[in-house]
A = this chain, B = another copy of it.
């Protein structure tokens, strides 16, 4: 899958139509049409130590028209390819949910989807087999990307034409809203030293109010909990194209470590997109369990589900590093978690005057 550039509509369309042409050729040669895709279960996902992302293993399964249900799957695939090719032709876009509903308007009842899971899975299959990512099919995510504040000038292609936007000078306090397909963005210029991805809105606003983006030439990206695809993609592009270090600042609990994991390593569910979405050298700045001890932060006790989540992180190859094992074991030991905003117990400026600068210096980012 191409990671650096946005496929143009024509290329994406051709790669889709090639799939349909394969079915045609198989028929033509007297063969039963079939489509081979990597098995997408946990047992066929491997952690690629070199690339530091999840990738599919060697096993694959076959959708064949030999069975009625297999034939129906291929029928749905051809209708969907036809819809996507038209959509690209007309330079339009749609969401997964719209695709599901739209299939009700198709002339053949057997081609209609029975559930949204079915249409979602088909799109993932097509992404994997065609090696075109859904944004290049013009399938928009439902979830909005987050917002950006920092010394970055970008150009976004919009339906009204190109817009040049500086993410400090041309936006309000809310910042620049990441569009659903961030590959419509071109980076024009920047004066940034690093990217700081922040979990909570309250902390994002604190950093912006304190002028952290100005004082430290930092692009503040709000994650807003589990980050949307668009947000992860933009962070990855800032790393690759602008060469900026990326650090993730989140609450000090196992769910926030997963947020870090989704930025850095991608997810099992979207292993085929790791190259496109993951930023393997993103680093975790905090809140770390050691901060709870060192800064005597206000805490809450771990719940049972926190403990389970921490234990399953210890089993997760992504977290099997000296750093994470030490931090997670310390957390299980002290039986406490702390929120980002608990740093306010040391005053509203502690995070920007002391905590982040000290940590960024230790991490060689400053």
Q: Is the C-beta of A33 less than 8 angstroms from some C-beta in chain B?
A: no
Q: Is the C-beta of A179 less than 8 angstroms from some C-beta in chain B?
A: yes
Residues of B within 8 A of A339 (CB): 97, 101
Compute how far the CA of A347 lies from the CA of B98 in the bound complex, rounded to whole angstroms: 9
Q: Is the C-beta of A156 less than 8 angstroms from some C-beta in chain B?
A: yes
Considering only CB atoms, which chain B residue lies closest to A87 in the complex? B348
Contact between chains at B173 and A92 (CB < 8 Å): no
Compute how far the CA of A175 lies from the CA of B158 in the bound complex, rounded to whole angstroms: 10
Q: Is the C-beta of A243 less than 8 angstroms from some C-beta in chain B?
A: no
Contact between chains at A209 and B101 (CB < 8 Å): no
Contact between chains at A348 and B156 (CB < 8 Å): no
CB-defined interface of A185-224 with B at 8 Å, one 1/0 digit per residue?
1000000000000001110011011010000000000101
Asked if A172 meets B165 with Cβ closer than 8 Å, knowing A92-B209, A144-B201, the reply is: yes
Q: Is the C-beta of A142 less than 8 angstroms from some C-beta in chain B?
A: yes
Contact between chains at A200 and B142 (CB < 8 Å): yes
Q: Is the C-beta of A312 less than 8 angstroms from some C-beta in chain B?
A: no
Q: Is the C-beta of A147 less than 8 angstroms from some C-beta in chain B?
A: yes
Contact of A178 among B174, B180, B208, B211 (CB under 8 A): B174
Nearest-CB distance from A224 to chain B (Å)? 7
Contact between chains at B159 and A173 (CB < 8 Å): yes
Q: Is the C-beta of A176 less than 8 angstroms from some C-beta in chain B?
A: yes
Residues of B within 8 A of A177 (CB): 147, 171-172, 174-177
Main secondary structure of the interface of A (DSSP, over half): mixed
Contact of A348 among B98, B144, B202, B343 (CB under 8 A): B98
Compute how far the CA of A346 lies from the CA of B103 in the bound complex, rounded to whole angstroms: 10
Nearest-CB distance from A256 to chain B (Å)? 15
Q: Is the C-beta of A51 less than 8 angstroms from some C-beta in chain B?
A: no
Compute how far the CA of A160 lies from the CA of B167 in the bound complex, rounded to whole angstroms: 12
Compute how far the CA of A240 lies from the CA of B66 in the bound complex, rounded to whole angstroms: 65
Contact between chains at A298 and B206 (CB < 8 Å): no
Q: Is the C-beta of A262 less than 8 angstroms from some C-beta in chain B?
A: no
A residues whose Cβ falls under 8 Å from a Cβ of B? 92-95, 97-98, 101-102, 104-105, 140, 142-145, 147, 156, 158-160, 163, 165, 168-180, 184-185, 200-202, 205-206, 208-209, 211, 222, 224, 298, 339, 341-348
List 14 A–B pairs whose Cβ atoms lie within 8 Å, in order of A's numbering: A93-B209, A95-B205, A98-B202, A101-B298, A102-B348, A104-B345, A145-B174, A159-B208, A163-B170, A163-B172, A172-B179, A173-B180, A174-B180, A175-B177
